Amino acid sequence: MLELADVSVDLEGERIVSDATLAVPDGSVTAVLGPSGCGKSTLLRAVAGIEPLAAGALRWDGADLAGVPTHKRGFALVFQDGQLFDHLTVGRNVGYALRLRRAPGTDRRVAELLDLVGLPDHADRMPATLSGGERQRVALARSLAVEPRLLLLDEPLSALDAGLRERLAGDLQRILREAGTTALLVTHDHEEAFAVADRIAVMRRGRIVQDGDLGEVWRAPADAQTALFLGYATVLDGARAVRLLAEAGLPAADVVALRRSALTLDPDGPLRARVREARATPDQVRLRVHVDGVGDLDAVASLDAHAGAGDEVGLHVDHTRLAVVGRP
Amino acid sequence: MLELADVSVDLEGERIVSDATLAVPDGSVTAVLGPSGCGKSTLLRAVAGIEPLAAGALRWDGADLAGVPTHKRGFALVFQDGQLFDHLTVGRNVGYALRLRRAPGTDRRVAELLDLVGLPDHADRMPATLSGGERQRVALARSLAVEPRLLLLDEPLSALDAGLRERLAGDLQRILREAGTTALLVTHDHEEAFAVADRIAVMRRGRIVQDGDLGEVWRAPADAQTALFLGYATVLDGARAVRLLAEAGLPAADVVALRRSALTLDPDGPLRARVREARATPDQVRLRVHVDGVGDLDAVASLDAHAGAGDEVGLHVDHTRLAVVGRP
Amino acid sequence: TEEEPSAATGGDAGGRVVLVTHESFSLPKKLVKEFEAESGIDLEVRAAGDAGTLTTKLAVTADNPTGDVAFGVDNTFASRALDEGVFATTDLEVPAGAGDYTVPGDDGARMVPVDTGNVCVNVDTTWFEERDLDPPATLEDLADPAYRDLFVTPSALSSSPGLAFLLATVAEYGDDWPSYWDRLLGNGTRVVDGWSDAYFTDFTGGGGDGDRPVVLSYDSSPAFTVPKGGGASTTAALLDTCFRQVEYAGVLEGADNPEGGAAVVEWLLSEDVQAALPDSMYVFPVREGVALPPDWEKYAEQPDDPFTLDPADIAAHRDDWLEQWRDLTTR
Amino acid sequence: MRRLLALAALAAVPVAVLGLFFVVPVSGMVARGFWPDGEFAPDQVWEVLTRDRTLRVLAFTLWSAAAGTVGSVGLGLPAAYVLHRTALPLRRGVRSALLVPFVLPTVVVGVAFRQLLGAGGPLGFLGLDGSATAIVLGLVFFNVAVVIRVVGGAWEQLDDRPGHAAATLGASPVQVFRTVTWPQLRPAVVSAATVVFLFCATAFGIVLTLGGSRYATVETEIYLLTVQVFDLPGAAALSVLQLVVVLALLLVAGRTRSTPVVRRPATPHRLRRSDVVPVAVTLLLLAAIAAPVLALLVGSLRVDGAWGLENYTALSTTGQRDALQVSVTAALLNSLRTAVDATWMALLTGLLVAVVVTRRSRSRAERRTRRLLDGLFMLPLGVSAVTLGFGFLITLDRPPFDLRDSPLLVPIAQALVALPLVVRTLVPVLAGIDDRQRQAAASLGAGALRTLATVDLPVLWRPVLAASGFAFAVSLGEFGATSFLAREDFPTMPLVIFRLLGHPGELNYGMALAASVVLAATTAVVVLAVERLRVTSVGAF
Ligand SMILES: Nc1ncnc2c1ncn2[C@@H]1O[C@H](COP(=O)(O)OP(=O)(O)OP(=O)(O)O)[C@@H](O)[C@H]1O
Ligand SMILES: Nc1ncnc2c1ncn2[C@@H]1O[C@H](COP(=O)(O)OP(=O)(O)OP(=O)(O)O)[C@@H](O)[C@H]1O
Ligand SMILES: Cc1ncc(C[n+]2csc(CCO)c2C)c(N)n1
Ligand SMILES: [Mg+2]
Ligand SMILES: [Mg+2]
């Protein structure tokens, strides 16, 4: 188990990561989710032993990692931009760690891994001739070859298209689980987090503001900003929250976060609203509606609904798509 | 207007882009959408004049671009990995093109652009100290400064978190529209395409397999693979398609593509199915169901639905979330 | 590490002896072998740099010399060696005829003359014959407009023959030497860096494509310009323009093996070595009655009365002279 | 802490070598000047510095070195581009041929130059013989190869994508060069220019031969004061002056040198229309360098006014009237053997220095220490061979360092001279390796050595080969220190050539020319062979 205890990291004299405390249980896949520039990559680099800690401690199974150099930690890091070795073929990149330990059967293993990431014929290619997504996949395969005790992933799937991402996410989960590997993943993309992780930590401005099981965090974001970052479209508080919850027939709460799809057009819905704006997307119609006493909200309608600006409409509130914020 | 007429591009003797034909109307934002490694970046580089054409022609407003060097084309390219000038500060990177033409008011303009991409205090930073997403944003700002007649964007938003992406996409659309700039965007991510583009071209293995208005392509994918790539979960053909459409009360067609959310749990739905698997995600329950005569399909249910494996359920077919494939 | 003396076959010296000398030092291997066999001495030669470098080297290492005996300090540098206490006093006998060459005031007590040679102006006789001209003969002639643009000499600053020529003019003209040089330079004299430059590049008789038939060189040089088929040398030395150089040997103060060193000096003065000097080092023996090689007898004439200067004088004024000379030549 | 210890351990060997073979001897010699008779007498030293003449000498030194540097960089840059970025036919051969001037003994080059420029020579009409222009031309002739190698090596490794980015932003090729390529190239150019400046400022033979002794530089002045005049305080004063100037230069250079540039080698491109100017400059340069060498070649083939190979066949002898102790062929073997030793010494030390200097620093003090080390190893270039040579004699004279007679002294001295070139060739390349590559290797389980072997070395082996070619050539051609330290029975080629030129006799002269040609050809062939080596085992880990 990896533990971060009040970890702080400075770069060029500035505090980039502050007092991060986090536990990554064995066999779990934990995602650190945070906006661009919040310090995710820096945190990963500190765990890998590349950046020194300014304060706090890192522990693996209780043993302090201070003074353990990167290559002895047994943590493989997949860099955000791959960092392939440009002078080696794809195959030799993937087999790098295997050759370091003179493991037998390198070639077979490399072929397996390349298969896994969907690049079966690429073993003899040079990295400079790969596309962005292909590079990322090779980097992933290279790290998987290590069979590390902890896999550190910096946005490993963000350069991949949805189909590939979903497939790889599934494979990754399976592989990690089978090998009992623990993984720490950082990403700005909650889809990526959900696709792979079972635990989640939300990071903001160098601090970890919430962590827990995926669903737990999802259902009860610690604060309004977290909720917005997790993909909730609107956060209401005070009287507006009370009013909305009352209309939806739900118990009152101070702050409530709504996904865009929490409000759907429904002539029989309990909430009356006036449409301000409607925009069709390939999937659905996105509405901006005004509810008296609550204000402007997002809502959706099916593509065959005919709601135009100015119309009075009814809204259905899907209580599974809203979350009470700040309740522990 | 940019026209690609049977454009082919070779790299190291291999044909990477084959016979791509595409028109990018003035003032439009066209997205080339394709899986990782299909040749999108190569296509963009060819348009920019960095890679020579192996065959075909590129025309701007009817004039052939052959022999026009990159810097005279007036096309700005935002590279997939930013390609910032590491020896210049962020501010000087953004002001690069302005200084080249000795435009007055450079500083003010740079500040505006940095504001736009959400990095107002970063003008004096060196690129090496930026996070991945920050680099991408600086690259975007740098290209916008040129006010090019054509903006070429290589996955400009994929390193950004959802909030930022949506904001930037909106801003980008506004800026492009206001400046009357035409844009050609490549991405593997259909969300990114939808967020910014109004026209779309689907690319596969170096070929453009379909292009048209966003909604057009969406509603009528040219073939099964395109449909899958556009985010449709399942493609049915032959008897299975007929059966499903019949159940849904829709006119018959040879091939039909379904989004995951085309089938929703509804006790009164016309389609009877047996649940094979149910998995809760933060948003909804994802189901895998079996429909006699059709086979296994994806479906969704609200989080408060109680459907377990083995249950017999009814399904509602949302005809706005399915598309007939291959119909011109 | 000290080496065991090899079984001595004669004399009381033996052991290892290090001879410090300059890069022009050279003697037939056979002679060296014989000497080693006879004396039981293991002779090690360390040769580097020119005479000036050698002298400086000996001077800076006077308290901890790098060898036992030195050869090659010449009369232009002799005072420096003596002033710095480089050499030890020995009671070696100066060979017959060498008395003329000792350093005044030392008289062979520390520095024993070994060889002598002269730096003389040389002319390309063929060149003059072809033009039906009489070659110059004296220093004064070189400043004569009849010989305009014909003379090339190496620099006194960077070349030892160049310095010797300057000293010759000092010896001839005394304090008036600068005005002579004025005239010389006014007459189109070319000053180049080194002897090889002057002789091979600028001199018409040196084998290169030079354009100057008068060059500063040595009295022995004509022996090298005898055509392949034989016949007379194509060049000649002007014997009234010569400055005498003498090379000395001596046992170093603080030597590990002074006896061995003394034996080496004695050997350098021996008839065999003296006879080998012309062919090996292009210099004349100091010892009387030593036969010269046939070519030398024929073509390498020695001046009877070359210019000389007291080494102490040289040491005292060299700095001044060179500075003045430089001011004259670099105007 | 551990990192710092490891750093110190790595730096220990080169620092010890530099200390023992450079700092101690030079300070010993300088101390001699300050304490002439065992008593501190700085006034004598001061007096020299206030002389008019000293100022003039210093001014000429700086002027000629600056002119030589500007010339070398101006001509070297286009040639570096053409020879390292474009697919010019035969470019490898040309690259190694350009090293030839570097090994030619200055005396020989002087002779060749003067044959060209002299009154009777083909270029005599220019009236350059003995002029300052001739000196500057000579300096450029010798040093343009330094610029081509150091800058070309770095240019070869430059990523061309930032240039593409600039072009899409509207930058013309010239603007791309000015705003993108140049900043990336600048560290290498500054590196090269520093070395060239030091070479020029300490040039000895070439100033004397081509300047007809009319011009003096600090270096010739030190020689004069030490050997001719025996004015040790004066020489010490100038040595200190020289060191101060060099240090100032290094300080300035160090400031402009450090822009980290991430490298990604691009393949050479076919010649384009826009390459006309650089190609023309390169060809002109080639012609200019070939001319004196051809003059030598022609001279070596002339015997008694006719063509013949006698000068070459005579190389197995000891010359006319036994001018030499050993035959020229034996000397060639000596040279090669010494050069091999000097090369590995210089490479090993240079690699250590380059690695130490380019590792990522975590604090300002650490960074400053590394910079200091970087500059320190440039110093040997800025000190006169005379000072160093005599310094050896008076300081390395007692056990355990009684090294005055050691046969290792010559290769060590040569390695010391070559070291700055090696360091300057390697540092810009090593500094350009993205540190995250090393971090990636570490996170895959590679220790420090493995990282070095698998990340740095593969990028480095080309520059290492280039540097070894350099070191080899320097060693083959080194004259100053070697003439001082070489043992008489083991002379190297330049010594033998010098000696042949010191003896009258047409055959000796012809042999000197022939030996120079052989030396030049040997260098070109060896350097070409070295650069052709494919170190697959390293590159392919
Ligand atoms: N060397 C550095 N010196 C100073 N600040 C730095 C340095 N490197 C990174 N930063 C800053 O630290 C912050 C965190 O950077 P980091 O790379 O960890 O972000 P991130 O969360 O990974 O972002 P992204 O999702 O965009 O990759 C950023 O604001 C960045 O500008
Ligand atoms: N220099 C090259 N030589 C040979 N093949 C190359 C070269 N560069 C790229 N390729 C190949 O061309 C194909 C297209 O590459 P490109 O970079 O255009 O893909 P892409 O569509 O942008 O992918 P991604 O979304 O992953 O960035 C890839 O399969 C890649 O491996
Ligand atoms: C003007 C000038 N003269 C000679 C050389 C040749 N050279 C080859 S190696 C080396 C270092 C010291 O021996 C030098 C100086 C040069 N490059 N520049
Ligand atoms: Mg990051
Ligand atoms: Mg791409």
pLDDT tens readout for residues A229-264: 888 888 888 888 888 888 777 788 889 998 888 888
Kindly indicate the confidence band of residue A116, based on its pLDDT and cuts at 50, 70 and 90.
Answer: confident
**Angle of the B162-179 helix axis to the B132-144 helix axis, nearest 10:** 10
The reply to whether ligand 2 has any atom less than 6 angstroms from the CB of A155 is no
Kindly indicate the confidence band of residue A214, based on its pLDDT and cuts at 50, 70 and 90.
Answer: confident
Q: State the pLDDT at residue D73.
A: 95
Helices (H), chain A: 40-48, 70-73, 90-94, 96-100, 106-116, 132-145, 162-179, 190-196, 214-219, 224-229, 238-247
| Chain D residue at shortest CA distance from C225 | D505
* Atom in ligand 1 nearest the alpha carbon of residue B136: 26
Q: State the pLDDT at residue C13.
A: 57
Three-state secondary-structure class, residue B99: helix
Q: What are phi and psi of D291, to 5 degrees?
A: -55, -55
> What average pLDDT score do residues A152-162 get?
82
* Atom in ligand 2 nearest the alpha carbon of residue A130: 31
Three-state secondary-structure class, residue C180: helix
One-letter amino acid identity for A326? G
Token match 């865009």: residue?
Answer: A260
| Chain C residue at shortest CA distance from D108 | C197
More confident call, D186 vs C307: C307
Token representation of residue C325: 């000379």
B63-64, strands of its sheet edge to edge: B14-24, B2-11, B55-60, B63-64
* pLDDT at residue C6 tops 80: no
Kindly indicate the confidence band of residue C1, based on its pLDDT and cuts at 50, 70 and 90.
Answer: very low
Lowest mean pLDDT, pick from B79-88, D251-260, D399-408: D251-260
Question: How far apart, in Å, are the Cα atoms of A132 and each of A135, A168, C74, C100?
Answer: 5, 16, 77, 91
Q: How far apart are CA A303 and CA B215, in angstroms?
A: 12
Cα of A164 vs centre of ligand 1, distance in Å, is 28
Q: How far apart are CA D446 and CA B147, in angstroms?
A: 47
The reply to whether ligand 2 has any atom less than 6 angstroms from the CB of A133 is yes
Q: How far apart are CA A287 and CA A265, in angstroms?
A: 9
Kindly indicate the confidence band of residue B65, based on its pLDDT and cuts at 50, 70 and 90.
Answer: very high
Residue nearest to atom 9 of ligand 3 (CA): D474
The answer to whether the Cβ–Cβ distance between D169 and B74 falls below 8 Å is no
The answer to whether the Cβ–Cβ distance between B50 and D173 falls below 8 Å is no
The answer to whether the Cβ–Cβ distance between D208 and C26 falls below 8 Å is no
**Which DSSP helix (H) or strand (E) runs through D45?**
helix D42-49
Length reported for chain B: 328
The reply to whether ligand 1 has any atom less than 6 angstroms from the CB of B129 is yes
Chain D residues in contact with B70 by the CB 8 A cut-off are 164, 167-168
| Chain C residue at shortest CA distance from D205 | C193
> What average pLDDT score do residues A281-295 get?
82
Length reported for chain A: 328
Q: Which of A90, A114, A125, A129 for a ligand 2 pocket mutation test, highest count of atoms within 8 Å of Cβ?
A: A129
> What average pLDDT score do residues C157-170 get?
90
- How, if at all, do strands B63-64 and B55-60 pair? antiparallel
Q: State the pLDDT at residue A186.
A: 92
The count of CB pairs under 8 A between chains A and B is: 119
Longest dimension (CA), chain D: 73
Q: Which residues sit opposite C247 in a β-bridge?
A: C74, C115
Q: How far apart are CA C37 and CA B68, in angstroms?
A: 87
Burial track D276-298 (b if 16+ CB lie within 10 A, e otherwise): eebbebbeebeeebebbbebbbe
Burial track D139-149 (b if 16+ CB lie within 10 A, e otherwise): bbbbbbbbbbb
Residue nearest to atom 30 of ligand 2 (CA): A130
- How, if at all, do strands A271-280 and A312-317 pair? antiparallel
Q: How far apart are CA A226 and CA A237, in angstroms?
A: 14
**CA-based angle A38:A44:A49, to the nearest 5?**
135
Q: State the pLDDT at residue C2.
A: 39
Share of chain D above pLDDT 70, in %: 94
The answer to whether the Cβ–Cβ distance between D169 and B152 falls below 8 Å is no
Q: State the pLDDT at residue D266.
A: 66
Kindly indicate the confidence band of residue D538, based on its pLDDT and cuts at 50, 70 and 90.
Answer: very low
Question: How far apart, in Å, are the Cα atoms of C31 and each of C34, C292, D319?
Answer: 5, 17, 19
User: What domains can be seen in chain A, in order of their start residue?
Assistant: 2-228 (3.40.50.300), 231-324 (2.40.50.140)
Question: How do residues B146-194 score in pLDDT, each as one tens digit?
Answer: 888 899 999 888 777 777 777 778 778 777 777 778 999 999 888 778 8
Residues 111-130 of B with CB under 8 A from A: 129-130
* pLDDT at residue A317 tops 80: yes
Cα of A36 vs centre of ligand 4, distance in Å, is 7
Judged by its nearest atom, the ligand closest to the C-alpha of residue A130 is 2
Question: How do residues C91-104 score in pLDDT, each as one tens digit?
Answer: 888 888 888 888 88
| Chain B residue at shortest CA distance from A11 | B129
The nearest CA of chain D is from the CA of B275 a distance in Å of: 44
Kindly indicate the confidence band of residue D262, based on its pLDDT and cuts at 50, 70 and 90.
Answer: low
Cα of B34 vs centre of ligand 5, distance in Å, is 10
The reply to whether ligand 2 has any atom less than 6 angstroms from the CB of B45 is no
Cα of B46 vs centre of ligand 2, distance in Å, is 12
Kindly indicate the confidence band of residue B229, based on its pLDDT and cuts at 50, 70 and 90.
Answer: confident
Q: How far apart are CA A256 and CA A223, in angstroms?
A: 10
The answer to whether the Cβ–Cβ distance between B86 and D261 falls below 8 Å is yes
Lowest mean pLDDT, pick from B44-53, C253-262, D252-261, D345-354: D252-261
Q: Residue C34, CB half-sphere, CA atoms under 13 Å: how many?
A: 10
CA dihedral D511, D513, D518, D521 (to 10 degrees): -170
The nearest CA of chain A is from the CA of D362 a distance in Å of: 9
**CA-based angle B262:B268:B272, to the nearest 5?**
65
Task: Please tell me if residue A35 touches chain B, with a CB cutoff of 8 Å.
Answer: yes
Q: Residue D491, CB half-sphere, CA atoms under 13 Å: how many?
A: 25
Which of A55, A38, A36, A24 has its CA nearest to residue A203?
A: A38
Which are the contacts of D177, defined by CB distance < 8 A and separation ≥ 6? none
- How, if at all, do strands B2-11 and B55-60 pair? antiparallel
* Atom in ligand 2 nearest the alpha carbon of residue B38: 21
Selection from C61-70, C171-180, D78-87, D463-472 with the highest mean pLDDT: C171-180
> What average pLDDT score do residues D84-89 get?
85
Kindly indicate the confidence band of residue A33, based on its pLDDT and cuts at 50, 70 and 90.
Answer: very high
Which of C42, A113, A161 has its CA nearest to residue B229?
A: A161
Lowest mean pLDDT, pick from A10-14, A174-178, A209-213, B204-208: A174-178
> What average pLDDT score do residues D351-380 get?
81
Cα of C210 vs centre of ligand 3, distance in Å, is 27
> What average pLDDT score do residues B278-301 get?
83
More confident call, D301 vs D364: D301
pTM of the model: 0.81
The answer to whether the Cβ–Cβ distance between C56 and D209 falls below 8 Å is no
Cα of B181 vs centre of ligand 4, distance in Å, is 31
The answer to whether the Cβ–Cβ distance between D111 and C53 falls below 8 Å is no
Q: State the pLDDT at residue D536.
A: 43
Cα of A130 vs centre of ligand 5, distance in Å, is 9
Question: How do residues D125-168 score in pLDDT, each as one tens digit?
Answer: 787 777 888 889 989 998 998 898 888 878 887 888 888 888 88
Chain D residues in contact with B75 by the CB 8 A cut-off are 168
The reply to whether ligand 1 has any atom less than 6 angstroms from the CB of B315 is no
* pLDDT at residue C12 tops 60: no
Longest dimension (CA), chain A: 72
Q: How far apart are CA D32 and CA C187, in angstroms?
A: 43
Kindly indicate the confidence band of residue C240, based on its pLDDT and cuts at 50, 70 and 90.
Answer: very high
- Chains with ≥3 CB–CB distances under 8 Å to B: A, D
* pLDDT at residue C320 tops 80: yes
The answer to whether the Cβ–Cβ distance between D208 and C330 falls below 8 Å is no
- DSSP conformation letters of C185-225: HHTT-EEESSHHIIIIIIBTTSSS---BSEEEEETTGGGG-
Kindly indicate the confidence band of residue D304, based on its pLDDT and cuts at 50, 70 and 90.
Answer: confident
Kindly indicate the confidence band of residue D485, based on its pLDDT and cuts at 50, 70 and 90.
Answer: confident
The count of CB pairs under 8 A between chains B and D is: 76
- How, if at all, do strands A55-60 and A263-265 pair? unpaired
Lowest mean pLDDT, pick from B31-45, B281-295, C8-22, C236-250: C8-22
Q: State the pLDDT at residue C138.
A: 94
Kindly indicate the confidence band of residue D458, based on its pLDDT and cuts at 50, 70 and 90.
Answer: confident
Helix and strand element counts for chain C (H, E): 12, 9
Q: State the pLDDT at residue C10.
A: 38
One-letter amino acid identity for D111? V
**Angle of the D42-49 helix axis to the D232-257 helix axis, nearest 10:** 70
Lowest mean pLDDT, pick from B56-70, B87-101, C79-93, D32-46: D32-46
Question: How do residues C63-84 score in pLDDT, each as one tens digit?
Answer: 889 899 999 999 888 988 999 9
The reply to whether ligand 2 has any atom less than 6 angstroms from the CB of A131 is yes
Token representation of residue A222: 């610690």
Residue nearest to atom 29 of ligand 1 (CA): A37
Question: How far apart, in Å, are the Cα atoms of C149 and each of C233, C328, D60?
Answer: 23, 17, 28
Which of B268, B250, B273 has its CA nearest to residue B321?
A: B250
Q: Which residues lie near ion ligand 4 (Cβ < 5 Å)?
A: A 41, 80; B 131-132
Kindly indicate the confidence band of residue D539, based on its pLDDT and cuts at 50, 70 and 90.
Answer: very low
The minimal CB distance from D444 to the residues A69, A76, A128 is found for: A76
* pLDDT at residue B208 tops 90: yes
Three-state SS annotation for B220-273: CCCCHHHHHHCCCCEEEEHHHHHHHHHHCCCCCCCEEEECHHHEEECCCCCEEE
Q: How far apart are CA B57 and CA B43, in angstroms?
A: 12
Q: Which of A7, A12, A33, A41 for a ligand 1 pocket mutation test, highest count of atoms within 8 Å of Cβ?
A: A41
Q: How far apart are CA B256 and CA B245, in angstroms?
A: 8
**Which DSSP helix (H) or strand (E) runs through D278?**
helix D276-300
Q: How far apart are CA C162 and CA B164, in angstroms?
A: 83
The count of CB pairs under 8 A between chains A and D is: 80
Q: State the pLDDT at residue B20.
A: 93
Kindly indicate the confidence band of residue C7, based on its pLDDT and cuts at 50, 70 and 90.
Answer: very low
Question: How do residues C266-318 score in pLDDT, each as one tens digit?
Answer: 999 999 999 999 888 888 999 988 888 887 888 888 898 999 998 888 888 98
Q: State the pLDDT at residue D447.
A: 85
A150 contacts A134 by C-beta, under 8 angstroms: no
Describe chain C by its helix, strand, coil percentages, rounded to 5.
40, 20, 40
The nearest CA of chain C is from the CA of D238 a distance in Å of: 17
Q: How far apart are CA D288 and CA D113, in angstroms?
A: 11
Ligand 3: residues with CB < 6 A are D 102, 106, 139, 142-143, 199-200, 203, 206, 417, 474, 477-478, 480
Which of D456, D453, D441 has its CA nearest to residue A71?
A: D441
Token representation of residue C161: 């023959």
Neighbour-count burial of D455, counting CB atoms closer than 10 A to its CB (0-12 exposed, 13-18 middle, 19+ buried): buried
* pLDDT at residue D380 tops 90: no
Question: How far apart, in Å, are the Cα atoms of D73 and each of B156, C71, D186, D206, D360?
Answer: 40, 47, 12, 19, 30
| Mean per-residue pLDDT of chain D | 83
Q: How far apart are CA A76 and CA A183, in angstroms?
A: 10
Q: How far apart are CA D231 and CA D41, in angstroms?
A: 13
